[in-house]
Structure 1
Amino acid sequence: MNIEAHLATLEKKHGVLEEELHSALLQPSTRDDYISSLKRRKLQLKDEIAKIKSSFH
Protein backbone atom coordinates (compact mmCIF):
# COMPACT_ATOMS: atom_id res chain seq x y z
CA MET A 1 0.00 0.00 0.00
CA ASN A 2 1.42 3.38 -0.92
CA ILE A 3 1.56 6.27 1.52
CA GLU A 4 -1.37 8.19 -0.02
CA ALA A 5 -3.66 5.17 0.22
CA HIS A 6 -2.55 4.48 3.78
CA LEU A 7 -3.19 8.11 4.72
CA ALA A 8 -6.65 8.00 3.11
CA THR A 9 -7.45 4.83 5.07
CA LEU A 10 -6.36 6.42 8.34
CA GLU A 11 -8.40 9.55 7.64
CA LYS A 12 -11.46 7.43 6.87
CA LYS A 13 -11.02 5.48 10.13
CA HIS A 14 -10.66 8.79 11.99
CA GLY A 15 -13.95 10.00 10.48
CA VAL A 16 -15.72 6.79 11.44
CA LEU A 17 -14.46 7.11 15.01
CA GLU A 18 -15.63 10.75 15.07
CA GLU A 19 -19.15 9.67 14.06
CA GLU A 20 -19.13 6.81 16.56
CA LEU A 21 -17.97 9.13 19.34
CA HIS A 22 -20.62 11.70 18.48
CA SER A 23 -23.31 9.02 18.56
CA ALA A 24 -22.01 7.61 21.85
CA LEU A 25 -22.04 11.05 23.47
CA LEU A 26 -25.70 11.46 22.57
CA GLN A 27 -26.60 8.27 24.45
CA PRO A 28 -26.74 8.85 28.22
CA SER A 29 -26.28 5.15 28.87
CA THR A 30 -22.87 5.02 27.15
CA ARG A 31 -20.14 4.04 29.57
CA ASP A 32 -17.39 6.54 30.25
CA ASP A 33 -14.65 3.99 29.62
CA TYR A 34 -16.04 3.31 26.14
CA ILE A 35 -16.06 7.04 25.35
CA SER A 36 -12.50 7.34 26.66
CA SER A 37 -11.45 4.43 24.47
CA LEU A 38 -12.96 6.05 21.37
CA LYS A 39 -11.24 9.36 22.15
CA ARG A 40 -7.91 7.61 22.71
CA ARG A 41 -8.13 5.67 19.43
CA LYS A 42 -9.16 8.82 17.57
CA LEU A 43 -6.21 10.75 19.00
CA GLN A 44 -3.80 7.93 18.08
CA LEU A 45 -5.04 8.06 14.50
CA LYS A 46 -4.77 11.84 14.43
CA ASP A 47 -1.18 11.64 15.65
CA GLU A 48 -0.31 8.99 13.07
CA ILE A 49 -1.90 11.08 10.30
CA ALA A 50 0.05 14.16 11.41
CA LYS A 51 3.29 12.17 11.51
CA ILE A 52 2.78 10.88 7.97
CA LYS A 53 1.84 14.32 6.65
CA SER A 54 4.88 15.94 8.27
CA SER A 55 7.18 13.36 6.68
CA PHE A 56 5.86 14.37 3.24
CA HIS A 57 6.92 18.00 3.64
Structure 2
Amino acid sequence: YHVLSDVVSVETPGCPAEFLNIRIPPGDLVFDPDQRGDVVLPFQRSRWDPETGRSPSNPRDL
Protein backbone atom coordinates (compact mmCIF):
# COMPACT_ATOMS: atom_id res chain seq x y z
CA TYR A 1 0.00 0.00 0.00
CA HIS A 2 2.71 2.50 0.93
CA VAL A 3 4.58 2.10 -2.35
CA LEU A 4 1.37 2.37 -4.34
CA SER A 5 0.30 5.53 -2.52
CA ASP A 6 3.70 7.11 -3.29
CA VAL A 7 3.53 6.13 -6.95
CA VAL A 8 0.03 7.46 -7.60
CA SER A 9 0.22 10.45 -5.28
CA VAL A 10 -0.05 13.93 -6.75
CA GLU A 11 1.36 15.56 -3.65
CA THR A 12 4.11 18.15 -3.73
CA PRO A 13 7.57 16.56 -3.99
CA GLY A 14 9.42 15.96 -0.75
CA CYS A 15 12.04 18.33 0.55
CA PRO A 16 14.83 17.51 0.25
CA ALA A 17 13.98 15.91 -3.05
CA GLU A 18 14.50 12.14 -3.24
CA PHE A 19 15.01 10.60 -6.67
CA LEU A 20 15.00 6.92 -7.49
CA ASN A 21 15.21 5.81 -11.10
CA ILE A 22 13.55 2.43 -11.54
CA ARG A 23 15.54 0.22 -13.92
CA ILE A 24 13.51 -1.59 -16.57
CA PRO A 25 14.56 -5.16 -17.39
CA PRO A 26 16.19 -5.36 -20.84
CA GLY A 27 13.70 -6.35 -23.50
CA ASP A 28 10.58 -5.45 -21.48
CA LEU A 29 7.77 -5.63 -24.03
CA VAL A 30 6.20 -2.33 -22.96
CA PHE A 31 9.07 -0.13 -21.76
CA ASP A 32 12.06 -1.49 -23.70
CA PRO A 33 10.69 -3.01 -26.92
CA ASP A 34 13.93 -2.14 -28.79
CA GLN A 35 15.93 -4.11 -26.19
CA ARG A 36 18.30 -1.20 -25.47
CA GLY A 37 18.76 -2.33 -21.89
CA ASP A 38 19.29 1.19 -20.51
CA VAL A 39 15.70 2.31 -19.90
CA VAL A 40 14.73 3.76 -16.51
CA LEU A 41 11.50 5.21 -15.19
CA PRO A 42 12.16 8.49 -13.36
CA PHE A 43 10.63 8.54 -9.89
CA GLN A 44 10.54 11.26 -7.24
CA ARG A 45 9.08 10.60 -3.80
CA SER A 46 6.23 12.76 -2.64
CA ARG A 47 6.18 14.70 0.61
CA TRP A 48 5.81 12.52 3.72
CA ASP A 49 4.71 12.88 7.32
CA PRO A 50 7.90 13.64 9.29
CA GLU A 51 6.53 11.66 12.27
CA THR A 52 6.74 8.47 10.19
CA GLY A 53 9.59 6.50 8.66
CA ARG A 54 11.76 6.28 11.76
CA SER A 55 11.81 2.49 12.08
CA PRO A 56 10.69 -0.68 10.25
CA SER A 57 7.58 -0.77 12.46
CA ASN A 58 6.74 2.86 11.56
CA PRO A 59 7.01 3.07 7.73
CA ARG A 60 7.10 6.42 6.01
CA ASP A 61 3.58 7.59 5.18
CA LEU A 62 1.93 10.54 3.48
Return the TM-score normalized by structure 2: 0.24
The structure with more strand, counted as a fraction of residues: 2
The structure with more helix, counted as a fraction of residues: 1
Larger-Rg structure = 2
Q: Greater relative contact order (Cα 8 A, min sep 6): structure 1 or 2? A: 1
Return the TM-score normalized by structure 1: 0.26
